[in-house]
Amino acid sequence: MKLNKFGKVLILAPHTDDGELGLGGSINHLIEKGNDIYCHAFSNASKSLPKNLPKNILEVEFNNAMKMLGVPKENLTIHPYELRTFSYHRQEILDRLIKIRDEIKPDIIFLPSSTDIHQDHQVIAQEGLRAFKKSCVLGYELPWNNITFPTHCFIVLKEKHIEKKVEALACYNTQKHRKYLNPEFIRSLAITRGTQIQVDFAEAFEIIRWVWD
């Protein structure tokens, strides 16, 4: 089945680089198809940075990375939660998600997989499903956080989409020491998921909720 236009696509990212890591190639592809992409990141993870760096540097890198993928700055929001504290703010986060839902009215939502073991990611996955339980919800893959990952759904990509993902993630200069930002890893995962469905490149997703109208 050809990828058709969804309309409004909402990405929920616990931290500023999670959306690009989980579906950077698909973001670029969806924009090519004429979709409106919105991304809400819930922390700039400033406490993970060395003290000599500006506290907002990950926000700058996030804006640059999303610009590389084609997402306009006015569609990006960063919320003020500290790294690894989301569980203390569940109700407040749920309230924010409901407000986002009512303002954007997205046609499809991408959020962390239900198998993601990072504590902040679990909160966004669980509260995201509560807020968007009447919508199409797909979980994206972050292999270093997934003990298992159900590859229910694939978005077929071209090499140019993977190259854009690599370029976008290269904007995170403060995170370049992370093994999961290695371009070889990013390409190899896309090749692996493509091989599962006998294409060159793909990104895989968990179907959490699918509502067909």
What's the confidence (pLDDT) of residue 4?
A: 66
Give a yes or no: residue 25 inside a domain.
Answer: yes
Distance CA 172, CA 59 (A): 10
Give a yes or no: residue 21 inside a domain.
Answer: yes
CB neighbour list of residue 212: distance below 8 Å, 6 or more residues apart:
none
Residue 150: what residue type? Answer: P
Provide the β-strand partners of residue 138: 110, 207
Distance CA 51, CA 203 (A): 35
Q: What is the mean pLDDT of the chain?
A: 95
Give a yes or no: residue 125 inside a domain.
Answer: yes
Give a yes or no: residue 179 inside a domain.
Answer: yes
In which domain, by residue range, is 95 found? 8-209
DSSP state of 171: T
What's the confidence (pLDDT) of residue 1?
A: 52
Looking up residue 191, the CATH number of its domain turns out to be 3.40.50.10320
pLDDT over threshold 70, residue 2 = no
Q: What radius of gyration do the chain's Cα atoms show?
A: 16
DSSP SS3 for 206: strand
Give a yes or no: residue 1 inside a domain.
Answer: no
Distance CA 188, CA 67 (A): 24
Give a yes or no: residue 3 inside a domain.
Answer: no
Give a yes or no: residue 2 inside a domain.
Answer: no
pLDDT over threshold 90, residue 50 = no
The pLDDT of 77-91, averaged and rounded, is 97
What's the confidence (pLDDT) of residue 3?
A: 63
Domain count, the chain: 1
110-158 residue pLDDT tens? 999 999 999 999 999 999 999 999 999 999 999 999 999 999 999 999 9
Give a yes or no: residue 180 inside a domain.
Answer: yes
The pLDDT of 167-176, averaged and rounded, is 96
pLDDT over threshold 70, residue 86 = yes
